């Protein structure tokens, strides 16, 4: 509660405006918090799904690579990998979620085949190349989700701190200050009313005494006139 403000009507109106603004800000921030949490939970579910898909894809690609090495030999597989001509491009853009910039990762591949090796190729090796390409695309999407989750988590924490500050500190203190100021203003108005009434009563008494005194003087004047007229007779 702020008690260093003068208890005046103008300050009271300012405090009431501040309270309305703080209440509106609290409602908007609370809505933002709910939307961010919903978006965050959705991204967490997707991240868990993509993490399992990436783990499964990596395991499948590694298994295929091991099988190709067993059938062709490590040297032939190495020569075949060196003969591949696949270009990839990772585009990172952004989208906004309640003012928070989160990344959007797009992975594209361009296979400039046919490519040849000095060694004879095998369908298993080509399948392994395809599986690793698909895994890389999944990993790009997983990286997008993880970075988005980190950024949204930071924004959720900041929003929660702001909401709590308004709900637990700013708004209650402003309400207490308004209540205190209203009581002080009412007390001051009562004191002013009592003082004005006292002054009014005193003025009325003085006026009444003045009137009585004037009436008494008038009576004395009348009496003196009557006495003088009787003496003249």
**What pLDDT is recorded for position 194?**
84
| Domain-located, residue 16 | yes
Take residue 76 and report the two structure tokens written for it. Answer: 């032939």
Neighbours of 33 (CB within 10 A): 18
The CATH number assigned to the domain holding 51 equals 1.10.287.3240
pTM of the predicted protein model: 0.68
pLDDT tens track for 138-177: 998 999 999 999 999 999 999 999 999 999 999 999 898 8
SS3 228: helix
Q: Does residue 94 sit in helix, strand or coil?
A: strand
Average pLDDT, the chain: 82
Residue 197 included in any domain = no
Number of domains in the chain: 1
Asked if residue 129 belongs to a domain, the reply is yes
Q: Is residue 173 part of a domain?
A: yes
Indicate the range of 90-99, 150-159, 196-205, 206-215 predicted with least confidence: 206-215
| 35 domain-assigned | yes
Is residue 59, in this structure, part of any structural domain at all? Answer: yes
Residue 199 lies in a domain: no
Residue 90 within any structural domain of the chain: yes
Q: Which domain holds residue 88?
A: 9-179
Packed helices 74-83 and 123-165: angle between N→C axes, nearest 10 degrees: 70
């Amino acid at each position: 509660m702020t008690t260093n403000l003068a208890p005046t009507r103008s300050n009271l109106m300012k405090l009431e405006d501040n309270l309305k603004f703080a209440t509106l800000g609290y409602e908007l921030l609370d809505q933002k918090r709910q939307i961010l949490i919903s978006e965050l939970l959705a991204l967490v579910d997707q991240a868990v799904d993509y993490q399992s898909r990436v783990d499964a894809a990596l395991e499948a690609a590694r298994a295929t690579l091991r099988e190709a090495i067993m059938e062709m030999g490590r040297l032939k597989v190495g020569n075949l990998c060196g003969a591949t001509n696949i270009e990839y491009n990772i585009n990172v853009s952004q989208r906004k979620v309640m003012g928070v910039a989160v990344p959007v990762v797009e992975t594209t591949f361009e296979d400039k085949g046919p490519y040849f090796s000095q060694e004879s190729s095998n369908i298993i090796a080509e399948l392994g190349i395809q599986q690793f390409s698909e895994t890389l695309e999944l990993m790009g999407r997983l990286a997008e989700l993880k970075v988005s989750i980190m950024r949204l988590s930071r924004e959720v924490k900041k929003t929660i701190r702001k909401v709590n500050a308004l709900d637990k500190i700013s708004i209650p203190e402003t309400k207490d200050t308004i209540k205190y100021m209203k009581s002080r203003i009412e007390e001051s108005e009562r004191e002013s009313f009592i003082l004005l009434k006292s002054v009014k009563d005193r003025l009325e008494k003085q006026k009444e005494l003045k009137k009585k005194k004037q009436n008494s003087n008038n009576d004395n004047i009348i009496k003196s006139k009557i006495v003088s007229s009787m003496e003249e007779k």
